Each structure stands twice: as structure tokens, then as C-alpha cells.
Structure 1
Amino acid sequence: MIDIVYILNQIDGVLYFPILIIVMAVAGLYFTLKTRGVQIRLFVESLRILFEPSGDESSVSSLQAMLVSTASRVGTGNIIGVSTAICLGGPGAVFWMWLMCIIGASSAFIESTLAQIFKRMDNDGNFYGGPAYYIEQGLKKPKIAALFCICLIATYALGFNLLCSYNLQSTFMDYSFYNPATTPMIIGAILAIITGYCLLGGGKRIIKVTNTIVPLMGVSYVIVSLIVILVNYYNIPAMFALIFQNAFDFQSIFAGFAGSCIVYGIKRGLFSNEAGVGSAPNASASATVSHPAKQGLVQTLSVYIDTLLLCTATALMCLSTGVARNAAVSGAPYVQSAIGSVFGTAGPIFITVAMVLFAFTTLLGNLYYVDNALIYLNRKNKPSKRFMNIFYVAAAFIVFIGAIIPMDAAWAMADITMGLMTLINLPACVSLGRIAVDCLKDYEKQKKEGKDPIFDATDIDIDTKMLDTWY
């Protein structure tokens, strides 16, 4: 009998090592050099831009577009993904997660700036766009643009939602009522029904409440993590020593590179912050800004919030407690044990509540990107209501399946589909990178002249026939 999980793991292993690790590292370093470290050099400027008004109350501001992309980035990966990386790859995975975050933030700048440059305007005056549009218009490759959309749908409607559902049900494993034979099915069915109800037009109140609560839960999660770390303050020096020692234990790393802290750090970091994947540009294109570089700069902050703040909170909270880590507890059990060492039985309950909220908004947020891809594939027209209803029912069924499949299968599916998106988006960004770099130079030139930068495409070397705006 064919072992599907084994095949998925083999594909996953080859895709990330050596292919994606090389592509991501080279692209990130290339963009960092070409922009002269824009993600670090203009960090303060990014903060300033974040709170600039759009100038029109009906349009999407930089902050609003950043919050949409951050909502997609922030989710179960910040908790379960980090735990899995540490348990399976070792504490050194945290260092490689940090490094790829800083390098990858330059990729986030390029892809979001390109999305702004090549954005389109609908009949109602709203902006839209993303990788499919800059691949079609900038590279003149509509077939590759369509392939990207197919990969995006596979990632966000299939891979990520399978994993999100699995991660949610896994938080119940430590409870006495958990029965491996029935509990995942019950949780999966409940989650699928609620998700389907909201997607089919109901549950607007549920969505509104969760969208209000989730930011508060994110802040609460960081505060709780800090409390756990401070309670275990005497372990902090040894904790950082362990992270760096394991990160540079090259004898151990190269003895099994595919399962090393480097690979797990990069894989889980990419899953969490999505820098270079091509998802965030779909949100970035919707913002109304005076210059494309502004949205590119703001999106670097979203990557930092996800990895340097939330992922780090999980990692340091777990490692500071010194609770046992191994493959058996990877995922929710490791995080719940860590927080439970300080808060007792209330700790695991807090994580479960956080995961329920994060997972639900992630499931719906993922399908926001899918809607954009379906519109592109339907010749830039919204598919019929009948088609969308069938699609939403299928999406809800996928949520149910995710709760009952093995952990390895869930992670492998998400990694593979996300990896395919990245392998299309990053080379496209490299090919079009000069345009984004010239855009950044124009922005900095105007800033030096004391102006609030306003972009005119004719000021840089670009064929304006490719554009729908900016000239």
C-alpha cells in the first residue's frame, strides 16, 4: 500500500533542502544588498509611515492593509510552528528563524512595493493586485501568473487550512476527555460547520467579535509569555547560550541537515511570517498611499511583528521553563506544559482559547486571498454565487479533514504548497526587482529634498503601458 505521508515528507524534504533554502537565502541577501538593507536602515521611517492617513476615509490606509496581512501571518504558526521547530530541530532553530526574518523582510519590501506599482483599480475606485498582476504585466507571463494563483489556492484553501484545523484540535490532547478516535472528528465537525456558516454569509457577528478579540488575545499572549520568562529569569542566560550553541553546532547539523535546526528554523519561520511567499502583496495592493515604497516599508514591520515579537515570545517562554522537549510533545503539548509550569491548569486553557481564536480568524483570512486568486483565474471577474457556495462547502470539508489527518501529513501539505508559491514569486521579484529598487531610490531622493514623496512612474525607467495607475 502506498504510504502517502512518506511520499509527502520526501517531497517536502527535497523542496526545502536544498532548493528553497538556497532560493530564499540568495533572494533575501540580493534584495538586502540592492536596497542597502532597507529593512534595517529605514526601520524608523517604516514606523512613521504606518500611522499616515490615506487621505480618503473610504480608502484603505497603510495601517489597514498591514493589519490584513498581519492577521494572515499571525496565527497557529506562531505557537505550534515554533514549538515544532524547537522540539524537532532543536533550540538553535530560533536563531535561524530570527536570521531569515531579518533577511526575508527585504523580500517582503520588494514584493509589496511591486504589488503597489502594478496595482489595478476597479469600477468602484478600489485598488487590488498582487503577484499574479505583476507577473502578468511586468513579466508578460500570464500562464505563470495563473499557475501562481492555482498554487495560492492550493496553499490557502488546502495546505494551510488542513494544518490550521489540525493545530487547533491538537491543543485538546492534554485534556482528560480527549479520545484520539472521536475528539478530532467532533472538533473538526464543529469548526467546519462554523467556518462554512460564516463563509456562506452568516455569522457576521461571530466574525466581528473575533476580529475584535484576536488583537487583544495577541497582546495578552505576549504579556503572559513575558510573565513566564520573568518568573524563570534565572534561566535566561543559559537559554540564550543554548540557542546559539545549538544554532552553530555544525557537526550535529551536517550529520542530519534535512532535520536540523537550520531547516526547521527556516521552514517554520517562512510558514509563520510568509516573507517572499506572495500572500501579503495581495493585501498591500489595496492600500491608498502616495508612493509604492511606503507600503513596502510598512510590510517589513508585519514580518518583524510576526517573527521577532510573537514567535520569539513562544520560543523564549518555552525554553526559559526548561520543560522536557522531544518529538512526542512537539506542537501544542510543549507550549501548554511550559505555560502550565507557571499558571497551572489555567495555562493550557489560555493556550486553547488563543488557538481557537487564532485558528478561526486564520481560516477566514486565508480564504480572503483565495477569493482574489479565483477572481484572477475567472478573467478578473468574481465567480458566480453558485460556484462560490460550492467552493465554500468544499473549503469547510477540508477544515474537517484537517482535524483528523496525521501531524506529518498536515505539516508536509502546508510546506509543499507554500514552497511552490515561493518558488514562483521570488524569481519573479528578482526579475522585476530593479523597478522596486528604483522606486525606493525615488522615495529617498524626495525625502532628502524635504518632500512628502509622491510617485510618478515616468520618473523611473518603466514602461507605463504596463501600469494601470501612477502616471
Structure 2
Amino acid sequence: MMNFLESIISIGNDILWGKVLIILLIGLGIYFTFKSNFVQFKFFGEMFRLLGDGATNSVSSDEKSENSVSSFQAFCISTASRVGTGNLAGVAIAIAVGGPGAVFWMWLIALVGASSSFVESTLAQIYKTKDKYGYRGGPAYYMEKALNKRWMGIIFSILITICFGLVFNSVQSNTISLAFKEAFGINQFIIGLTLSSITGIIIFGGVKRIAKVAELIVPIMAVAYILVAAFVIIKNISAIPSVFSLIISSAFGLNQAIGGGIGVALMMGIKRGLFSNEAGMGSAPNAAATAEVTHPVKQGLIQTLGVFTDTLLICSSTAFIILLSGAYTSKGLSGIQLTQTALSSQVGSWGNSFIALCILLFAFSSIIGNYYYGETNIEFINSNKIWLLVYRTAVVLMVLFGSIAEMPLVWNMADLFMGLMALINLIAIAQLGKIAFAALKDYVTQKKEGKDPVFTVNSIEGLKNVECWEDTKKDYMRA
């Protein structure tokens, strides 16, 4: 039975990742890049400015709702989900299977995919809805409100709930348990039991508790890991040009001593890149919608910065550690154990323990971020609290299951559900991109007039089914 399941999953992944998604992800990314006038590059400085503003207040204190999530907290929730096993274990798997060239395709999908992230996150803000806990939104909501296709939103909600809340969380706990077993020899079941207990305490506390935990963990873990990677790079600075040369030559099939050729490098780079940065997948918009901002484009730009943070900074850090060490040429090493071996060869035996602690923070923050994506989509399907209780219980159990499961199966399941989710979301944003571009045009116009941009339902002609952007006379200017 297990072999049959693995065969079905493998066939599905080959179709999705071998043909359909590679064309859609790159094609739409390029299309959105041109239609938005290169938004991910042109507004790079503005992204940092907005992130700084969001760390304090996104709107004036008079207008800020009691249960609202700041734009910085929303950024941290999505980054908590993005920055996880994909950055440490996923990059290692991509290099072990696809060779050094996979890193190039990972970079490419981040650069062009960042525009897709802008579109989906801006749409999530425009079509968000408000309840007693704050704001909710995401692809399911804009599929229903903008496309009038609730059935499409329900399918997406089911997929993201299974994908992130259950399958991805089993991947995260699997990587934590393997890392701690490698570093400290701790039994995987004991690790799983501990993780699932802590997860339960946090997720039963609601979105505000999730936001607070993410806001605390994300900056610390990212900075610590990047500093260690910077040390390794500086230590091997003379070898950096040859590493770049290796990545480029391997990406185009010129050097295939390691990996399976340009096709495998391309597929692994895009798969592991998307798993990590989530651009166009439809996951980050669920976090983007929770923020209270004066204009949807503000959160769209902040979420775009998350793609760069994830792939160009953190994934690249892992890639350079592995390639500089040469550990990727060793037979039988893959996933988190490859990253641990590579770092230990550069900094000493403490590298093993450091990676284990990093993956604990990275992957655990992903577990709570992933959980929230499922929660907001459960609410979309049915607001009955019984379903939310069932979901929360299932998440805790899947964290425990993932801790003791076999690595290849959980990663292959993650790829399949991630691919199906991305396919549906890309079809939706391909039709709705023009709304995000109109919002960007409105934002730019107001900026040129010297204003702090404020959005209303009348900012885009013909906008319908929008709940949270009424045309009022309130003053939303920052105090």
C-alpha cells in the first residue's frame, strides 16, 4: 500500500513540476514583472522604509483595532512560515540531487517570483474581511469575492489546510527530530512529543499569540544564522569566485559531475526555491491580509521583501556553506545532515549543535506560521468552532507523526500538495493581476503628490465585493 501511495505521489510530482508549474511560475513571474514596471526592484528601498514603519504602527493609534496585527507582525508570520526547513534542509536536498546549478534556478525563481508575491499579497489586502479577532483573507477570499468562484476558494482552502497545517508541519518536525538526533542523539519520539506539546500551547492561543511568538523568534534566528554564514564566507573569500562559476556552469549543464543535468537542477531549484520562499504559492497572502495598513500596496511591498530575505539571504547562506565545504560530493549525505556536516567542517564540532538549534527555531516558527494559514482557511469554509478544534488537534498529531516518519515520503507529499496549491492560486492571480497593478498605480500617484497613500473602494474604478476599504472621511495619516 505504501509503495502504491509513493508511486501516485511521484507521478503527480513529475507532471506538476516537470512541465506545468515551471512554465507557469517563470512565465507569470516575468509577465507580472513587466506589467508592474519591475516592482520588486524599483521599490526595493520603499520596502525597507515600510517595514520600519510597520515595526511601530501601520496606522494611527486612534484607528488601530484592539485585535489588529501590525504590518511588521504580519511580515513576521509569513517569514516564520517561509524561513524553515526549506532554507537549511531543502537547499541541501536541492544541491545533493540537482547539483550546484540548482542554486541558480533558486535565485531566478525568487527574483521573478517576487512580483507574483506582490500581486497575491496586495489582492489579499484588498479583499480581506474583518471579524472580532481582526482581519482575515488570502487566495480563497479573493477567489470568492473577485472571481465569484467560492468553489475554487474551497478547493484551495482544503489544499492549503492539508498542505501547510498537516503535511508541511510534518516536514518541519521531521527535520527538527533528525537534526537533534544527529547532534545530541536524542530519541525522535521524545523530540516529537515535546514539539507537539509546545505547538498545542501556542496554537490554541489564537493569532495574536502566534504573531507575538513569530515577532520574537524570526529576527533573532535569521540574524544569527546569517552571521555564522558570513563568517564561513569571509574565511573562504578567495574561493567565492570559483563557487559562483560552479553554480552558473552547473545550471546550464556545462559541469555535471554532480547532479543529474540541467533538467534536474532546474526542477530541484524551482521546487526547493518555491518551498522556501512561497512566491505565488498562495500561502503568504493569508498572513498579509491580517495587517492593518492604510493602503494594500504597503503590505504587498513588505511581503515582496520577504521573498528576497528568504532566498537571496538565508537560502544563499546555506548554499555557500555547503558548496565551500565540498560536503555535497559525499555519498549518502542529504537534507539537514548535509548542512550540519558542511558547517561543522568549517567551524568545528559546535556547528552540528548550532544547526540543530537553528533548525529548532526556524522549523518551529514555520510550524506556528503554517498552522495559521490553515486556521484562516478553515474559517473560510466553515466558521463552526468544532472544525477549528479538530484541525488544531490534527496539527498537533501531525507534528508528532512527522518526527518519526521517513524523510523521502514527507518531502514528496509536501511537493505534491504545494504544487496543486500553487497551480490553483496562479490561475487566480493571472486573472486578477490587473487589480493589483491598478492599486500600485494609485499608490505611486499619491506618493508623487507627497501624501501618505490611503486606499478606498473608489481608488479603483469598478471595484466590487470589497468590505474593509469604505470611502470615509477619517484621517489615516500617521501621527
**TM-score when scaled to structure 2?**
0.89
Match 1:168 to one of 161, 169, 176: 176
What aligned pairs does 1:174-323 form with structure 2 within 5 A after superposition?
174-175=182-183, 177=185, 183-200=187-204, 212-249=216-253, 260-323=264-327
Query: What whole-Å deviation, never above 9, does each CA across 1:402-450 have from its counterpart, x for those lacking one?
Result: 1222222111111111111111111111111111111111111222222
Q: Does 1:73 align with 2:74?
A: no
Provide the residue aligned with 2:91 in structure 1: 82
User: Residues 398-413 of structure 1 correspond to what in structure 2 (within 5 A)?
Assistant: 398-413=398-413
Whole-angstrom distance in 2 between the partners of 1:327 and 1:339: 17
- Find the counterpart in structure 1 of residue 477 from structure 2: none
Which residue is equivalent to 1:41?
Answer: 42
How far off is 1:211 after superposition?
Answer: 5.8
The separation in 1 between residues aligned to 2:263 and 2:402, in whole angstroms, is 24
CA contact (8 A) 1:62 1:287 kept: yes
Cα deviation for residue 333 of structure 1 reads: 1.6
> CA 1:314–1:102 in structure 2 vs 1: closer, same or farther (change >3 Å)?
same
Q: How many residues align?
A: 460
Change in Cα spacing, 1:393 to 1:327, as seen in structure 2 (3 Å) is farther
Distance 1:259 1:171, change over 3 A: farther
**Aligned partner of residue 329 in structure 2, secondary structure:** coil
Counterpart in 1 of 2:71? 62
Give the corresponding residue for 1:348: 352
* Cα pair 1:65 1:284 within 8 Å, conserved: yes
Instruction: Specify the code of the residue in structure 1 equivalent to 2:70.
Output: S
Question: Residues of 2 paired with 1:77 and 1:106: CA distance?
Answer: 20
Where structure 2 has 5 or more consecutive residues not aligned to the other structure, the ranges are: 472-479
Letter in 1 for 2:168: F
In the alignment, which of 129, 133, 139 is matched to residue 120 of structure 1?
129
Supply the AA of the counterpart residue of 1:436: A
1:314-393 to 2 correspondences below 5 Å: 314-326=318-330, 328-378=332-382, 381=383, 383-384=384-385, 386-393=386-393
Distance 1:163 1:454, change over 3 A: same
Q: Is the 8 A contact 1:229 1:321 kept in 2?
A: no
CA RMSD of superposed structures (Å):
2.5
Shift of the alpha carbon at 1:296?
Answer: 0.9
CA distance in 2, matches of 1:88, 1:409: 16
Tell whether the 8 Å contact from 2:128 to 2:289 is kept in structure 1 after alignment. yes
Equivalent pair of 1:232/1:321 in contact (CA under 8 Å): no
Residues 458 and 464 in structure 1, CA contact (< 8 A), matched pair in contact too: no
TM-score with structure 1 setting the length: 0.91
Answer with 205-214 or 169-178: which moved more: 205-214
Q: Is the counterpart of residue 107 in structure 1 residue 116 in structure 2?
A: yes
- Map Cα deviations across residues 69-92 of structure 1 (whole Å, 9 max, x no partner): 111111121100111111111111
The share of aligned pairs that are identical, in percent, is 45
The aligned runs of 1:379-458 (5 Å cut-off) are 381=383, 383-384=384-385, 386-458=386-458
C-alpha distance in 1, partners of 2:2/2:69?
Answer: 49
Output one character per residue of 1:7-41: Cα deviation in whole Å (capped at 9) or x when no partner.
32222122111011111111111111110111011
Identify if the C-alpha distance between structure 1 residues 205 and 69 changes in structure 2 by more than 3 Å, giving closer, same or farther: closer
Contact 2:74–2:211 at 8 Å: present in 1 too? no
Which amino acid in structure 1 is aligned with residue 269 of structure 2?
A: G
Q: Which moved more, 1:422-431 or 1:244-253?
A: 244-253
Query: 2:107 corresponds to which residue?
Result: 98
Deviation at 1:295, TM superposition (A): 1.2
- Aligned to 1:99, the other structure's residue is in SS state helix
The offset of 1:171, in angstroms, is 1.2
Summarize the Cα distance change of 1:132–1:209 in structure 2 as closer, same or farther, 3 Å threshold: closer
> How many angstroms apart in 2 are the aligned matches of 1:402 and 1:214?
22
SS at the partner of 1:51?
Answer: helix
Distance 1:387 1:229, change over 3 A: same
| Alpha-carbon separation, structure 1, partners of 2:209 and 2:470 | 38
Letter in 2 for 1:153: T
Structure 1 unaligned spans of 5+: none
Distance 1:447 1:233, change over 3 A: same
CA offsets 1:272-317 (integer angstroms, 9 cap, x no match): 0111111111111122222211111111101111111111111112
Describe the SS at the equivalent of 1:464: coil
Distance, in Å, in 2 between the alignment partners of 1:209 and 1:278 is 22
Residue of structure 2 in register with 1:6 after alignment: 7
Q: 1:197 to 1:453 in 2, by over 3 A?
A: closer
> Aligned AA for 2:39?
V
* Deviation per residue, 1:106-139 (Å, 9 max, x gap): 0010001111111122256x32211111110100
Give the AA of the match of 1:16. Answer: W
Shift of 1:320: 1.5
SS at match of 2:245: helix
How far the C-alpha of 1:225 sits from its partner, in A, is: 0.8
Three-state SS of the structure 2 residue aligned to 1:286 is coil
State the distance in 2 between where 1:465 and 1:359 align: 37
More off after superposition, 437-446 vs 270-279: 437-446
Q: Is the 8 A contact 2:191 2:403 kept in 1?
A: yes
Q: Find the partner of 2:166 among 149, 158, 172.
A: 158
Q: 1:118 to 1:214 in 2, by over 3 A?
A: closer
Give the distance between the partners of 1:210 and 1:437, measured in 2 at CA. 30
Matched with 2:474 is none
Answer whether contact 1:228 1:321 (CA < 8 A) is retained.
no
1:42 CA displacement: 1.2
Instruction: Report deviation, 1:326.
Output: 4.7
Describe the shift of the 1:65–1:197 C-alpha distance in structure 2 as closer, same or farther (beyond 3 A).
closer
Deviations 1:230-250 (A, max 9, x none): 112222121111011101116
Structure 2 Cα separation of the partners of residues 393 and 456 of structure 1: 39
